[in-house]
Amino acid sequence: MLEYDLNFSPLSSTEADTYKLVELTSDLAALIENAISKNEDLSLTIKGLPNEDAVLCTAQRTFSMRSIGLSNTILVVTPIQDEHAFDFADDALAIRDQVTEIIELIPSVPKIHKLTALLRDQQYDDASEDDIYEEDPMHIRITYDNARAEIQASDAELDRGLKDRRILIINNELRPIKPEYLNRLLELILNLLVSLSIKYTSASVEQLSSALADEHEVPRAVSIQIMTWFGELKDGRWKMDVESVVREMGLGILRNYRHEPILQNDLLSCWKNQVGDTFESLVSIKLLEGHYIVPEALDYDDNLTTLKYFPYSDLPVDPAARFSDLFLTRKKWKGEEISPFLSDIAVNSKERDKLLLKYCRTVTEPGGVRYTTRAQYNG
């Protein structure tokens, strides 16, 4: 057994509470070990403003940080490096700090929702790009670097969040595109694919962006970003993600029915007409899960079922508040109905089930199992 001569460092009093121990998850430990073995750079970033709980971000994932008390104190020791300390042996160590807690890392969902507040009233449409500055000379630009600094998310999650929320980067500024304008551009793209006899599986980016610019005054910077949202760009060709385009166009119709319902069959008919004969077979209500609600008083008869626009992105991020809103909207939910409204606050299905167990109770009815609210919410 190795033995060491322990001595308190002269700096131990000033260095108290300066050392923190972090317990790595198995996949994070493997990531670090792999980077070391391959001599690759690895960036781990701690993000959070003074009023926020800190998170740790890799290039791909976000982890919440939580302090856990230890039953035994851990000493942080280092070799004595004082060149004048001739009396100390080679095996002498200096106690630099005493650690009584450890930081636990837990996979968490990225805090992308903050983008909504940062970019409020900064939507982009076909009006002049300078209009926003003419209307508000004090307008503050939010750049990609601003978002990286303020949003508690990894770079990959932030990029995915910008794409999912349809946020353009125009002149180095983040601008959410107006949904109505986006839907009009998607309709134009589908019409151009037909009129120019372009295959949607391998469309020329230059031909399509030029047609949009010349015939409809759509800036190339906008059209090309939209192509990246709804497909893959490679070697100057665009392979359209048909399902994502069809979904977005369906949402464009559904957004008009936030307050007044629409018959499901009427929605499907309008939707199919909008996407055209080529893609109408892909039209399905399932594509809109998490964005609509069916009034619970009605039966699930396609001829009678009505839908109202009810997007999960408008709900509170806090789980207790989220479930409160859901059960204020409907008293009972089927599992397949409520799950899409939890996708952005649960890391995976296991965490989603934990939330359901915590905030809901189940009742068995003739039509199957339903989730209802508990008597009280405990945040």
pLDDT of residue 302: 55
Q: Which residues contact 313 (CB under 8 A, 6 or more apart)?
A: 113, 116, 165, 344
Residue 24 DSSP code: P
* Residue 151 neighbours by CB under 8 Å, 6+ apart: 47, 110, 111, 112, 114, 115, 158, 161
pLDDT value of position 257:
95
Q: What is the pLDDT of residue 365?
A: 87
The full DSSP string for 219-273 is: -HHHHHHHHHHTEEEETTEEEE-HHHHHHHHHHHHHGGGSSS-EEHHHHHHHHHH
Local confidence pLDDT in tens for the 379 residues of the chain: 677 777 777 776 777 778 889 999 999 999 999 999 999 989 899 999 888 999 999 999 999 999 999 899 888 888 876 545 545 556 788 888 888 899 999 999 999 999 988 898 889 988 655 555 555 556 678 999 999 999 999 999 999 999 999 999 998 899 999 999 999 999 999 999 999 999 999 999 999 999 999 999 999 999 999 999 999 999 999 999 999 999 999 999 999 999 999 999 999 999 999 999 999 999 999 999 999 998 765 545 555 789 999 999 999 999 999 999 999 999 999 999 999 999 999 999 999 999 999 999 999 988 888 999 986 544 4
What is the bridge-based pairing of β-strands 368-373 and 92-107?
unpaired
Partners of 104 in the beta sheet? 23, 66
Protein fold of 315-379: Arc Repressor Mutant, subunit A (1.10.10)
Cβ contacts of 104 within 8 Å, gap of 6 or more: 23, 65, 66, 67, 68
- Predicted local confidence at residue 83, as pLDDT: 47
**Could you tell me if 154 and 61 are in contact, meaning their C-beta atoms sit under 8 angstroms apart?**
yes
Name the strand (E) or helix (H) holding 50.
none
Task: From residue 338, give the alpha-carbon distance in Å to each of 165, 276, 343, 369, 372.
Answer: 21, 31, 10, 12, 11
Q: Which residue has the tokens 């059960």?
A: 327
What local confidence, expressed as pLDDT, does residue 94 receive? Answer: 82
How confident is the model at residue 135, as a pLDDT?
A: 57
Residues in the chain: 379
DSSP state of 124: B
What is the SS3 assignment for 98? Answer: strand
Residue range(s) in the chain whose domain bears CATH number 1.10.10: 315-379
| pLDDT the model gives residue 91 | 72
Q: Is-above-0.75 flag for pTM?
A: yes
Alpha carbon distance 150, 118 (integer Å): 10
Which pLDDT belongs to residue 76? 85
Q: Hey, what are 277's tokens?
A: 């004969």
